[in-house]
Amino acid sequence: MALIPETTFQEYSNLVAELSQHNHHYYVLDNPSVPDSEYDRQMRKLQGIEELYPNIITQDSPTQRVGGVALQSFSQIKHVLPMLSLDNAFSDIELQDFERKVKDRLNHTSEIDYVCEPKLDGAAVSILYRDGILVYGATRGDGSVGEDITANVRTIKSVPLKLQGDNIPDILEVRGEIYLPKAGFEALNEAARAVGGKTFVNPRNAAAGSLRQLDSKVTAGRALEMCAYSVGQYQAKSKPTTHQGMLQALCGWGFKLNEYVETVTGVDACADYYKRLANRRNKLPYDIDGIVYKVNELALQERLGFVAKAPRWAIARKFPAQEEMTQLLGVEFQVGRTGAITPVARLEPVFVGGVTVSNATLHNRDEIERLGVRIGDVVIIRRAGDVIPQIAKVVLDKRPLNAEIIIFPERCPVCQSSVQRNDGEAVARCSGGLFCGAQIKEAIKHFASRKAMDIDGLGDKLVELMVDESIIFSVADLYELNDSRLVGLERMAQKSASNLVAAIDVSKQTTLAKFLYALGIREVGEATAQTLANNFGAIEIIAQSSVEELLEIDDIGPVVARHIVNFFRNPDNLSIIEALRNAGVKWVDIDLTNQSSQPLKGQTWVLTGGMQVMSRAEAKDALQALGAKVASSVSAKTNQVVAGPGAGSKLTKAEKLGVAVMDEAEFITFLSTQS
């Protein structure tokens, strides 16, 4: 037996204590103290020590149990079959090592079939049915004993109260993941912010917190969903022979399965599945943190058996962490095109969500106060997909003694005009208007952007340089530029100048919707600009419209209506529009008396999958020009779906609802008949 060095024993004791505390925060308090990536690092360090010194292992080591203990405020349910956790693989090499061990234990040389399942980021539950009727629902708890959450589980619409179909087992214990989709998470946090309440760090903790409400009415008000992924107790005359077969049986009995579950052969196919799902991850309407691979044959699972807390026949392959810890080094205040003052956190660079992050948004003064964040704090950064990195939480235990309170400026950091905050608005704004250099720059950048006037070659740095050098003062000045005024600027040679002048000239021919969007009216995005164009047809009519007339249009509320009216009542804005039109900017007004000009008016279309001949943006523009509303999700009210290569869940839902579907070739043919 190897002698344990004193320093190693101390390090081990500290790790056991820290990980146990993290488990308590995560499983009991629903308030994680560190991001998953930090927990994984500490756990792997602990496992490494235990592998070198097996005699060091204590009964309270986190490796000897799954999670936390049940809350005393809930009654407890003992799991007849323990709810075990999974070992993790963090690379293709570790995944290959997993399969090597599987084949060695089975004495197998042929390829093995695996079921690949997205690892939903929620809360694991056990739900027992007797004679097809729901008896109880329980959390995983410590793997042996969970909390009785039956009343809350019954409120979740994707959990059947009574099983449907044939060959229902006498006893069926369904195990699955209860999670909160991204849209429900954002709505929940937005509602909490509106009343100054506590927000959740991520959808996983929101789901866990929702399940542990003593008042089931609170749970019922949250958009929780459940996907089944396995069974525990099972008593029936017959049983499927594969895991995939078991999932199909669960589906037949009324349970929701994840749409991306797939059976593959061999570890190389598992690695390919990982890459494919990783590419889809950010577009999914729910969070996943990896893939679970399970040996498909149940007989092989039985032969492989279990170790102390995990099955030998399954493993989880993790995605790059979406949360990390780092230090807040400082805060800068940026000014947007509408004067909004946005605090931006400057961070010690940290790798999270697949990229190195050094900046994060703090939104506004209210968010700074809600978080209680100070300069010098250690913070948890969350980055999910293409979402701007955000500070999710302050790690108060690590706050330094010299942490500084963040002071919000009373004057604009660019033009020194006073900062104002209107009643009912969380955002503070510079009062300088077009006197403020920052607002001028951002307005020009927006005007030239791809979805607006699409001026190729007019990048952000060039806009800033031209404003700083007093070459342009407004968007209208762009159309007065010529080669001689541009040549000599940094990185601006004759050819670059000529190309930019040509691109500006091309941008003169646009559409009413794009022009309206380019003007940068507050709260008027692409969809609202298109709605205005489709309903009024000409900018002169929009400019003369009242709040009441605007409110008659679907999707335009009182706040947006007031912003539109105020914009067109401003003589400076009207003079810029006139200058742009005098410079040659033009479009074709929409003839609202001619029904054939908008044959799709009143219809809702959805684009899904890839587009090979034309881009998604071009397809969307074409549909909106014909009067259609282009939505991001399929519903019973959808008139038509255009499905390109790789179409997934939206196509499946359209087929289920009986919504008409056409492929790209049919779509292009359809467009040609409308011109």
What domains are there in the chain, each with its CATH number?
A: 6-64 (1.10.287.610), 77-318 (3.30.470.30), 323-420 (2.40.50.140), 433-506 (1.10.150.20), 512-582 (1.10.150.20), 595-674 (3.40.50.10190)
Confidence grade of residue 71 (pLDDT, cut at 50, 70, 90): low
d(CA 356, CA 349): 6
Confidence grade of residue 69 (pLDDT, cut at 50, 70, 90): low
pLDDT of 578: 94
605 SS3 class: strand
**pLDDT for residue 72 is more than 70:** no
Strand-strand pairing, 113-120 and 262-265: antiparallel
**pLDDT for residue 67 is more than 80:** no
Beta bridge partners, 138, equal 126, 148
Element counts in the chain: helices (H) and strands (E) = 24, 24
pLDDT of 65: 56
pLDDT of 551: 92
pTM: 0.61
Q: H-helix or E-strand containing 119?
A: strand 113-120
Confidence grade of residue 610 (pLDDT, cut at 50, 70, 90): confident
Of the candidates 598, 630, 602, the one whose C-alpha atom is nearest the C-alpha of residue 616 is 630
Compute the average pLDDT of residues 624-635.
83
**pLDDT for residue 234 is more than 80:** yes
Residue 130, Cβ density class (10 Å: 0-12 exposed, 13-18 middle, ≥19 buried): middle
pLDDT of 118: 95
Q: For 77-119, what is each residue's pLDDT tens digit?
A: 999 999 988 998 988 999 999 999 999 999 988 999 999 999 9
d(CA 47, CA 27): 20
Of the candidates 561, 666, 514, the one whose C-alpha atom is nearest the C-alpha of residue 605 is 666
Strand-strand pairing, 88-89 and 171-179: unpaired
Q: For 313-342, what is each residue's pLDDT tens digit?
A: 999 998 887 889 999 999 999 998 888 999
Contact 328, 373 (CB under 8 A): yes
**What angle in degrees, to the nearest 10, is found between the helix axes of 92-106 and 267-280?**
140
Confidence grade of residue 596 (pLDDT, cut at 50, 70, 90): low
Q: How would you classify residue 489: left for phi > 0, otherwise alpha for psi between -120 and 50, otherwise beta? A: beta
**pLDDT for residue 29 is more than 60:** yes
Residues in the chain, overall count: 675
Confidence grade of residue 235 (pLDDT, cut at 50, 70, 90): very high
Compute the average pLDDT of residues 36-55.
89
pLDDT of 601: 81
Compute the average pLDDT of residues 384-412.
88
DSSP 199: P
pLDDT of 458: 93
Confidence grade of residue 1 (pLDDT, cut at 50, 70, 90): low
pLDDT of 635: 84
Of the candidates 321, 335, 298, 331, the one whose C-alpha atom is nearest the C-alpha of residue 115 is 298
d(CA 435, CA 473): 10
pLDDT of 654: 86
Q: For 657-668, what is each residue's pLDDT tens digit?
A: 889 999 988 898
pLDDT of 672: 85
How far is C-alpha 381 from the chain's CA centre?
14
Active-site residue list:
119
Question: Higher pLDDT residue, 631 or 396?
Answer: 396
Question: Higher pLDDT residue, 504 or 355?
Answer: 504
Confidence grade of residue 671 (pLDDT, cut at 50, 70, 90): confident
Which range (276-280, 420-424, 469-473) has the least confidence?
420-424
Compute the average pLDDT of residues 395-424.
90
How much of the chain exceeds pLDDT 70, in percent? Answer: 96
Q: For 449-482, what is each residue's pLDDT tens digit?
A: 999 999 999 999 999 999 988 899 989 999 999 9
Please identify which residue in the block is written with the tokens 């925060």. 25
d(CA 45, CA 432): 55
Compute the average pLDDT of residues 18-32.
73
Q: What is the DSSP string of 357-371?
A: EEEEE--SHHHHHHH
Confidence grade of residue 177 (pLDDT, cut at 50, 70, 90): very high
